[in-house]
Structure 1
Amino acid sequence: MDRLANTVRPYAWGSTTAIPELLGIEPTGEPQAEMWMGAHPGAPSRLAREAGERALSDVIAADPAGELGSAAVEKFGPRLPFLLKILAAGAPLSLQVHPNLEQAKAGYAAEESAGVPVDAPHRNYKDANHKPELICALTPFDGLCGFRDPLEAAALLAGLGVDTLEPYVDLLHARPEESALREVLTAVLTADPEEMTKTVHAAALSAERLGGPYIPYAAIAHHYPGDPGVIAAMLLNHVQLQPGEALFLGAGVPHAYLDGLGVEIMANSDNVLRCGLTPKHVDVPELLRIVRFEAGDPGVLRPEASPSGEELYDTPTDEFRLSRFVLAPGAAARDITAPTPQILLCTAGGVTVGELALAPGESVFVPAGDKTEIAGTRGGTGTLFRATVVV
């Protein structure tokens, strides 16, 4: 097994303090948004092997079966199919959805055929893969996930007392669920930009004055003044996760993370279609084709404990499997050897993986089949997240 050196991405929405506090280092004053653990070509983890420090992506490419196991290679190909992150939101991320696998393959093929450069700002599909994802809170964590019941959304919008929102309120009352949500989101995203800016400004002032359930939207408007995504956000469920709780985000589900520190895992893809809260490209027709216009409970996940002490976050995807262990000091070591690749991440206290001691924010890559024993240290209870695949 190998200790990983990981890249921290300095996106503008990142917290300036959360990741440094986890790592026990001094903040730089700059936003630190995501720490990536995996073999994504954008920022692969690095590890020390006999020939010196190498990118995990290169190590896997040199011996896919040896690093990933034959079953994982047969099922997913010669690549690590997931990306693990520590995510620290100090401001709202973009409101977005991800395609399913069939949509991603078709969209990627179409843009390749049209000759759209992969790095073009208006490109929607960077690869041919879907991007299911799971976020697990390490601190209290705020987000938006899935559509509210149309009548609840209508009540929220009506409560602002903004005249230009009344047509949306009427639509939410008058149409069946799917068409109500589709028509209102379409109207918001295609409205005259100047008029929508005025509507968002009026809605933001009212939300700030009213407080209570409107507080998240006043905060969003503060970061993205005039953005139609502020109104679109009010169509979605506001979710507040407590540490240890999680959300699974499947294809077509609109969502945004607002604030907090969490462990995120996803299929290894860059495919994102944005609805708002961003200066980046918004392809409204393609977005509306991908979004699932279904209202429902966002489905907060809590881990399911097994007799072995492993606490699993059960999701309907095979590209990743996330679980955690809470390891008491002095307890006997646990064997978690697996025929699949693993990334193990410490998020609290101290743990040992074999002979390696991990502090919060430190991680290791374990090749398939390598003997793996984990334990807490004498310094107190430790928390270890385990990322692998389902074969």
Structure 2
Amino acid sequence: MAGKDLQNYPAMNGPASNDFHTSSFEPIHNPDSLDQSTPPLKSSHRTELLYSRTHGYQNSSRSKTSSSFSGSDPVEHDEEEDASRTGSSCGASSSSGYTGSWNSKARPSLEGIPNDPTVPLMAFIQRGPSGRSSSAMSDIVSWECTTCKMFRATCPSRETMDFWSEVESDERDKTVDSACHSKFWIRFYEKLKEKFPAEEGLNSKQTRFLLKTLLGVGEQVEDVVELSRFLKIVRFFGPVKKDGDSGRCCLVKHVHELGKKSVRKNANKERLSWFAGDLPREEVERLLQNKKSGTYLVRMSHSGADNGDFVVSVMDGSECVHFEIEGNPQQSAESSTLDCHLVFLGRSFQTLPEAIEALLTTPLDDDDSGRDIWCTTICPGLPFSNVMTPYKRTK
């Protein structure tokens, strides 16, 4: 990575002295992907590599007698006092120009940085033209593939992306450009249980199967969760973060409630779910064709996927009409508890089951026909009915 690219990364810690500059760098390369084709940037300031996740804390090219920087572990407080009494502290060296000792300073905090072993992480310290340098750490910079950068920038929930970064990557492909946005399902699920031990939905086979289906994960052990699919589901059902003080996960809690509350018995005592997943509009109209008036289903919107919108599709006489349930992923991510801020029937609902429950007592208002449309019968043959309906007991 050339010096001009480093300027795009903001410093996590502010400058500690006037000798520290963030706008002037010599070329620094990622040791995991050296690119010698980039011409050096002329500058009077020198930037030194202190840390990389791949290679750990780096040893300085200078000797300990001429530089305060060392790649060794920080000394204990009593050792610092002894060094001070004997006058042998590296920070006191006038030849190095450093204002403080790296050994006497805490190593750079990595909190808030994605804990993904496939993402190289580096810390840099910069020396001015006088040879002096800030005693504080400068930038802590993480490199991500283009895909992950795009998704991180567009994801409304920081907690969700932090969770994703903590899940161990798919090691079948060692390249950062693909491994970082693809995770094994089993590791994804184990991380959920580790982060949210109070989430009862993770102990439900029905909820686990429903979550896997929404994420597009099959039955094979090596099946993976794709970042794009994961963030799509987050926009509909809420972020991966704690639901207030309950310790539950907002996303899993919503999916768990969907599995329990979307299933009803029809006139033939069959248990059916009104949830149809992300079926396209054409397929929905085919399923509802020739069904009696009032037959309905609820699906994830294709055109409104970025906004987390759902759609109620219902038969009105011989015509299939569609009513939107407006989502709000941004407000959902900002809420301290599970609240998707779904706007439907002139009201706001926290979850999808709550919104559909209102249809039992409130009709849909069709502006075109001027008639009220009641949702009375769940459409049979929906794929998620098999996912959310438990098997019957056998004698």
Where on the TM-score scale, by shorter chain, does this alignment land: which range? under 0.3
Q: For CA contacts below 8 A with separation 6 or more, give which structure has more relative contact order.
A: 1
TM-score, with normalisation over the residues of structure 2?
Answer: 0.21
Larger radius of gyration: 2
TM-score, with normalisation over the residues of structure 1?
Answer: 0.21
Greater per-residue strand proportion: 1
